[in-house]
Amino acid sequence: MIKKSLGILLLFSVVCLDSVNSAEKDIYKKIDLFGEVLEKINKEYVDEIDQSESMDSAINGLLQSLDPYSAYMSPEIFNEMQTETSGEFGGLGIEVSMESGVVKVISPIDDTPASRAGIKAGDYIVKIDDTQVQGKSLAEAVDLMRGPVGSGIELTIRRRGEKKALKFNITREIIQIASVKSDLLEDNIGYIRLTSFNDNSGKQIEKEIKKLEKNKKVKSYILDLRNNPGGLLSQAIKITDFFLDNGEIVSTKSRKPSENRRWFAKQGDLTNGKTLIVLINYGSASASEIVAGALKDHKRAILLGENSFGKGSVQSIIPLKNDGAIRLTVAKYYLPSGKSISDVGVSPDIDISEETDDFKIKTDTDNQLSYAIKLLNG
């Protein structure tokens, strides 16, 4: 009996080893095939090519085939990302990703050139000045959009519902983001606008809530996360906790079970349970979706506006031996309900779309904010 069991075990081990060897052999064949293709291109292609650039494109293609957020950064681009260029280069004020070979706008940031020009979440940038975006990596496209402060740039945009491409002429500026703004609206509604999740967002939100709470007449709150592309997970957790007394806020899951994590709220709702409406739209992504989704799952807030973007993944920057790096998706976010945000986003409890083409947040054209105010006033 023991001999028979041992024989089965040995046979199983040999089969497994053969499977591994077969898989490895297949990988080596593919690597050989890649080398052959590169050699043919180098010899036969109509124009002379830069083999180094071709290899960079191949690596980037591999990463972008995984998801829109994974990408390769050459040593030059990685170095630029790490270097502070205060006063030297300007930007447009948009958060972007890559989708189907073109740059997709996740969100324009408040009070920036892109926002003022009329760029919208979900727009596809197909051309930057005279350069087609198709075939470029996300890092290359972003590099094309950077330039000296005061210099002009033309973006050619494809927008859902528009038959013709739209052109926007924008002047680059130094992008300075005031991530938190607050106001006391009519009928004593505390309004807090959060445009990004940076190092100080939690402290700023806490300060604004406490300032509003000193006014004993404040009866309810509006937290505006529209066109907020996200940022630091730690700040999303901290800000969500301000409105909860207990319960799970978010969890992350990866291929390595040891790296799976869960975060919970601590006792102490800074607003003392006052009615809360959270405004979201397609430009609300990542950390914004964590906050909105957690507050919805705990029935702590009413979500109003449009379905959010659907970026529910965690990226890590991993340095490489050549002094470049890869941005790689290493985990996914999950809401307290267990739902993943990825690709589906967070749906509002009350679906209210932007009514006009000249819609601007917190102006007379902001029908979503107007609806929220009416709702809170009964």
Q: Give the integer Cα–Cα distance in Å for 302 and 295.
A: 8
Q: Which of 238, 296, 284 is nearest to 110 (CA)?
A: 284
Q: Where are the beta strands (DSSP E) in 172-260?
A: 180-185, 189-194, 220-224, 248-253
Answer positive or negative: Cα dihedral of 358, 113, 292, 101: positive
Q: Is-catalytic flag, 311?
A: yes
Q: Is-catalytic flag, 179?
A: no
Catalytic-labelled residue, pool 123, 143, 241, 297: 297
Q: Is-catalytic flag, 199?
A: no
Catalytic-labelled residue, pool 70, 182, 286, 288: 286
Q: Which of 196, 89, 162 is nearest to 357 (CA)?
A: 162
Q: Which of 153, 156, 152, 197 is nearest to 179 (CA)?
A: 197
Catalytic-labelled residue, pool 104, 120, 127, 311: 311
Taking residue 227's Cβ as centre, other Cβ atoms within 10 Å add up to 28
Q: Which of 237, 231, 268 is nearest to 251 (CA)?
A: 237
Q: Where are the beta strands (DSSP E) in 272-374?
A: 275-280, 302-305, 313-319, 325-334, 350-351
Catalytic residue ranges: 286, 297, 311
